[in-house]
Amino acid sequence: MIAQNLTFVPCAAMLHTAVLLISCPDQKGLVAAIADFLLRHDANILHADQHQDAELKLFLMRVEWDLHGFNLNLDEFSSAFRPIAERFGMTWRLAESSRKPRLAVFVSKFDHCLADLLYRYQSGELHCELPIIVSNHEDTRWLAEAYHIPYQFLAMNKEDKHETESTQLAILRDQKIDFIVLARYMQVLSPEFIRHFPHRIINIHHSFLPAFHGAKPYHRAFERGVKLIGATAHYVTETLDDGPIIEQDVARMSHRDSLGDLINKGADLEKVVLSRAVKWHLDNRVLVYANKTVVFD
């Protein structure tokens, strides 16, 4: 048998699509109005999913269509869609699959989440550009170099945290970064920093929030003798570990498990949960409202 070189091509790259995410007060005629608008412009709808929040009386929707044959230029979409959006009081955004968002990863000493993200990025699973890794330690530089990703070390001290964050923001602007992933970045971002990236910073917290928020959650979970441990990926807000949750998962614990066992099992959860959240964000499947999320299938 003759060996052949095979290149992994992610399915998302095979289609040129647009995604529309909508939230608005729930009312009659919403789906019909959106479908009719797309039909009038010859859209071939590939996926459509919706959710009604009965308590808040909100309608939320994700619709994706093939841009082949779509007769409305996306630069003109906003003005064409505005009458419908205003009629129903919609908050909406449009994304195009051919555009790769630019991601910056922030990391400290632990490398497991970074390693998983880098592998998925190199394999083509994560549809993005990764032009920079930022760290307050040198421990993970070797991993960045292995994947040929530029690595920026910036020491973080309490005395000059504001200046360091200003430097970080300057780097992010220079690299035209769209969103940030905190891959076990063990620093609390300032409210001023967070305001530059609203709902565009994803963090992995090593517990099943809202349990054991803050520092050393594994140690506190071990002290309580928990039977389940978890990991939570969420958008960062100004309130620590309180942002909209994107994904969570759990693993069972036994009385025979040591603190080290708990930490090792948790690390496996962290990297999978974080990578799922990042992929769903990149695929424009996450809609934030009322400090929570809908993650569309």
Catalytic annotation, residues: 241
User: How many other CB atoms are found less than 10 A from the CB of residue 29?
Assistant: 11
Task: Report yes or no: 217 and 230 within 8 Å, Cβ to Cβ.
Answer: no
Helix, strand, or coil (residue 295):
strand
What residues are paired with 53 via a beta bridge? 58
Q: Environment class of residue 206 by beta-carbon count within 10 Å: exposed (0-12), middle (13-18) or buried (19+)?
A: buried
Helix, strand, or coil (residue 240):
coil
Output DSSP code: residue 14: G
Cα→Cα distances 231→153, 237, 254, Å: 27, 18, 17
Closest CA relative to residue 41, chosen from 72, 80, 16, 62: 72
Q: Output the DSSP codes for 161-199.
A: HHHHHHHHHHHHHHTT--EEEESS--SPPPHHHHTTSTT
**H helix and E strand count, the chain:** 8, 13
Q: Where are the beta strands (DSSP E) in 83-213?
A: 91-96, 102-107, 129-135, 151-153, 179-182, 201-205
Place of tokens 């992995």: 204
Task: Report yes or no: 186 and 258 within 8 Å, Cβ to Cβ.
Answer: no
Rounded Cα distance, 12 and 93, in Å: 19
